């Protein structure tokens, strides 16, 4: 199940990248029906099938390149759905062995809803709310799979290496736990900020506002007079939302607010990363995750600037979506490993010694309470608690 979950993570990442590629190549309606393409399992290519397809959908004649972009995305999404179904079945079967069940079931429900959003994306002619929801749904599936993988890895007896060290005084245990609790809350807010920024980017892309501003640092002159927040985040009535239905001022507003969100995200995540790196009560693995977070953030900002300077090159724009996913996952990893170990897996006992971690800092406690620096009774009083 762990290997299947890991495979599903990579598959979900591919689906997100293909979804971005499909959207950026204006292929969201490459197939005007769902789940097939012009009534076929594959793109119609023969002259006879193309003629029949064009007769059935005269407003949307066959464009093979766009249709293949859309169908390849659907094939990968369908495969991901089958993998999630298999994960849910395996989780239910292994529930008596301590295998997580609720998260796989939630994932299955999420993937079903994601399929419905994919259908509505086509049937509602790229309605921006649905397109943005579909994007967020893809990120949600990826995030849930990643968290499930971390939990499954912790569930494996051989997945965690316990290191021997001197006994840690109770005061230090409490200080470490308190510091990591604060950093965890700090990181959770960071996750929320990144999700909001992804939503702002999704809304900007869904309404074709990525090139509404082509100058830095804000926009072309006179942008202040064009601001219309209410209009920018409303949905105008239209028969078809392909290429956008908002006016220029509303698109400028979307773009500027996305840039403002990027600035807030950058400042906050940098502050988070520095706080973790310079804390004396976080372990080396957690610091490495913080370094990865900061590296992903810098790369994401560089890609965002490149989108503006080079007028939204396809490769850069797709990579901008991919790095957003990497940044989100790295933040989730930071939150996960800042979570008290007692909330992630039970303490294990090996070789006559009780091994535990506060956050990610190894602590070795002698099984004989008389040789420990604090009693087993005092352990339960430590912040976060331990349960052997």
Q: Which residues are catalytic?
A: 70
Task: Please give the Cα distance from 230 to 306 (Å, whole number).
Answer: 28
> How many beta carbons lie within 10 A of that of residue 371, not counting itself?
9
Q: Are 269 and 286 in contact (CB under 8 A)?
A: no
CA-nearest of 335, 328, 323, 327 to 276 is 335
DSSP letter (8 states) at residue 164:
P
Q: What are phi and psi of 352, to 5 degrees?
A: 80, 5
Q: Kindly give, in sequence order, each residue whose CB lies less than 8 Å from that of residue 307, ignoring residues fewer than 6 positions away.
A: 210, 313, 316, 317, 320
Beta strands in the chain (DSSP E): 348-350, 353-358, 361-366
Q: How is residue 80 written in tokens?
A: 């991901």
Q: What is the CA 159 to chain-centroid distance, rounded?
A: 24
Q: Kindly give, in sequence order, each residue whose CB lies less than 8 Å from that of residue 206, ignoring residues fewer than 6 positions away.
A: 23, 126, 128, 131, 132, 135
Instruction: Taking each helix axis as running N to C, give the angle between helix 314-338 and helix 2-24, from 0 to 180 degrees, rounded to the nearest 10.
Output: 150
Q: Are 236 and 246 in contact (CB under 8 A)?
A: yes
Q: What are phi and psi of 363, to 5 degrees?
A: -135, 130
Q: Kindly give, in sequence order, each residue whose CB lies less than 8 Å from that of residue 51, ignoring residues fewer than 6 positions away.
A: none
Task: Please give the Cα distance from 25 to 56 (Å, whole number).
Answer: 24
Q: Kindly give, in sequence order, each residue whose CB lies less than 8 Å from that of residue 93, ignoring residues fewer than 6 positions away.
A: none
């Amino acid at each position: 199940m762990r290997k299947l979950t890991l495979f599903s993570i990579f598959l979900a990442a591919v689906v997100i990248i293909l979804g971005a590629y499909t959207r950026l190549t204006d292929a969201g309606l490459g197939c005007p029906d769902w789940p097939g393409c012009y009534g076929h399992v594959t793109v119609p290519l023969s002259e006879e099938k193309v003629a029949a397809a064009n007769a059935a959908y005269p407003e949307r004649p066959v464009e093979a390149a766009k249709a293949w972009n859309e169908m390849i995305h659907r094939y990968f999404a369908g495969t991901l759905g089958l993998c999630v179904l298999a994960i849910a079945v395996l989780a239910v079967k292994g529930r008596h062995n301590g295998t997580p069940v609720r998260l796989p079931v939630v994932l299955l429900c999420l993937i079903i809803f994601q399929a419905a959003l994919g259908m509505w994306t086509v049937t509602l002619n790229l309605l921006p709310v649905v397109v943005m929801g579909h994007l967020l749904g893809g990120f949600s599936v990826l995030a849930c799979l990643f968290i499930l993988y971390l939990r499954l890895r912790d569930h494996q007896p051989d997945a965690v290496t316990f290191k021997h060290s001197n006994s840690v005084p109770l005061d230090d245990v409490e200080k470490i736990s308190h510091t990591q609790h604060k950093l965890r809350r700090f990181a959770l807010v960071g996750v929320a900020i990144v999700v909001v920024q992804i939503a702002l980017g999704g809304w900007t892309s869904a309404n074709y506002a990525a090139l509404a501003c082509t100058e830095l640092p804000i926009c072309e002159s006179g942008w202040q007079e064009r601001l219309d927040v209410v209009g920018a985040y409303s949905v105008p009535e239209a028969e078809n939302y392909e290429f956008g239905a908002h006016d220029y001022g509303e698109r400028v507003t979307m773009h500027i607010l996305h840039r403002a969100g990027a600035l807030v995200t950058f400042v906050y995540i940098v502050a988070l990363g520095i706080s973790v790196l310079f804390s004396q009560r976080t372990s080396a693995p957690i610091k490495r995750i913080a370094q990865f977070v900061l590296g992903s953030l810098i790369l994401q900002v560089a890609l965002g600037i490149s989108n503006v300077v080079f007028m939204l090159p396809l490769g850069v724009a797709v990579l901008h979506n991919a790095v957003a996913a990497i940044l989100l996952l790295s933040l989730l990893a930071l939150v996960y490993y800042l979570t008290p170990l007692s909330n992630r897996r039970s303490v294990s006992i090996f070789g006559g010694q009780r091994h535990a971690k506060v956050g990610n800092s190894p602590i070795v406690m002698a099984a004989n309470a008389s040789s420990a620096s604090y009693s087993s009774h005092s352990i339960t009083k430590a912040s976060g608690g331990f349960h052997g």
